[in-house]
Amino acid sequence: MRAILIIPETQSISIIEIANKDEIPSLIGFNTIESEAIGTTGDRLYFDEECFIRGDTIKGRFQIDTMIPVAGKAVITGSIDINDLKSRIKFM
């Protein structure tokens, strides 16, 4: 399955291959996973649900469109184009 890995600490966005969604917690580094739709075509952003309360233990934040900023690594599944994503993401 094609996915996109976002690492805000290094401001990197890369296409990766995962076998299934069970791999997402290990990529993000936490088991408390939340997901949110980004757009209307079924793309989903997976991130650490507790990223908002972990404070400075997580390096880097990013925001897609007008979503609340997310701290730490995240994975996107779906058909989103990486170049489209790059134009919609802001690192903080």
Task: Give 46's strand partners.
Answer: 35, 75
Q: Which residue segment(s) compose the domain that 9 sits in?
A: 2-91
Measured CA to CA, the distance from residue 32 to residue 34 in angstroms comes to 7
Determine whether 7 is exposed, middle or buried from the number of CB atoms within 10 Å of its CB (0-12, 13-18, 19+): middle
Percent of the chain with pLDDT over 70: 97
The answer to whether the predicted template modeling score (pTM) of the entire model surpasses 0.75 is yes
- Write the DSSP string, 21-34: GGGHHHHHT-S-EE
pLDDT range class, residue 53, cuts 50, 70, 90: confident
Q: How many domains would you assign to the chain? A: 1
Reported as a single tens digit per residue, the pLDDT across 57-71 is 677 899 999 999 999
Residues counted in the chain:
92
